[in-house]
A = this chain, B = another copy of it.
Amino acid sequence: MTAEPKSIEGASGAAAEPFAAYAAARVLVTGGLGFIGSNLARRLAALGAEVLVLDNRLPGSGANAANLAGAEGRIAVVEADVRCAKALRPHLEGRHYLFNLAAQTSHQGSMEEPLPDLDINCRAQLQLLELCRAVNPEIGIVFASTRQIYGRPDYLPVDEAHPVRPPDVNGIAKAAGEAFHLLYHRVYGMRCTALRLTNTYGPRMRIKDARQTFLGVWLRALLEGRSFEVWGGAQTRDLTYVEDAVDAFLHAALSPALCGRAANVGGDGPVSLSALAEMLIAANGGGSFVIRDFPEARRRIDIGDYCADDRLLRRATGWRPRTSLADGLARSLAFFREHLQDYV
């Protein structure tokens, strides 16, 4: 596998045309120093958008100044907290699109500190919608929701009609945050869409610990020559490569059919955690892992197997994942091999 192309944006040239609307568009990305937010901001800038990133560099989040390295001249950054209405308000006026990714993402963290999770993932979202309604009701909004809100699935793959039954504080808060977005479409006609993301991975993810994705700590251990732990191993997940998630956001904001809807985002088909571990080691050209029992505190909020039915998104927008799991893992390893010092 080759290293990551110098310009990720270059890799998506084929898909640039459907995104012509972003050329010269004024776009706000909350959580834009984070993993998905920064990849999205970089793509938007490459598409010619005027991009403002708003991020509070929340400790424990994916925020990392290195995520915008090399793009500083093309992306403006405001350090502000999405919970602070006063800080947000001036940045909403005159914007065409709001990609709303600021979040607390750790499930276990949401159980340890539930109120900050609720304030960020739910209360701040309602406040943000109220602000948009007041100062810029025409803005197109895409909210980063999560498959976590389904809880332990009744059936696989999970479509959007599956009951919403969040297993932890984070899931409850995100479900409410999402519901507010859809409500503001229904009642006020605002252009809001939610994407229910599954495990997303790739360059610029948090690898310091497992607060964002378990894959981060696996990858870090490999690159540091240590073996990593797989909890359980038989559970299946589907994983979205971050550039495919970015495509989904770009499509969603432009799709009238998704207005007022929540749509799943999946990936390259389901894989068991132990098979994923083996693929990662193969992509790395070596390494090892050990299987551990699921820790009790995690078991109580675990969702078991998951696989997304994302046909709604595919049909509405033509989106499909363009990166195979093997390729995505190789690109992730190549990125972090080159930039390890910025992420540990």
* A residues apposed to B, CB below 8 Å: 111, 114-115, 118-119, 122-123, 126-127, 130, 163-164, 166-169, 172-173, 175-176, 179-180, 183, 186-187, 300-301
Contact = CB atoms under 8 A, between A and B. Distances in A.
Contacts of A175: 176, 179
This protein's copies in its complex: 2
| Residue from A123, A168, A173, A179 having most chain B Cβ neighbours under 10 A | A179
B172 A176 contact: yes
Contact of A130 (B115, B123, B163): B115
Contacts of A168: 183, 187
Return the 10 tightest CB-CB contacts between A and B, nearest first.
A176-B176, A172-B179, A187-B300, A172-B176, A114-B126, A118-B126, A118-B123, A163-B163, A114-B130, A115-B127
Nearest to A301: B187
A21 B261 CA distance: 48
18 contacts: A111-B187, A115-B126, A118-B123, A118-B126, A119-B123, A122-B176, A123-B123, A163-B163, A164-B164, A166-B179, A166-B183, A167-B183, A167-B186, A168-B183, A168-B187, A169-B180, A172-B179, A173-B176
Contact of A183 (B172, B176, B180, B187): B172
A111 B123 CA distance: 14
B180 A172 contact: yes
A263 to B, nearest CB: 17
Contacts of A166: 179, 183
Contacts of A122: 118, 122, 176
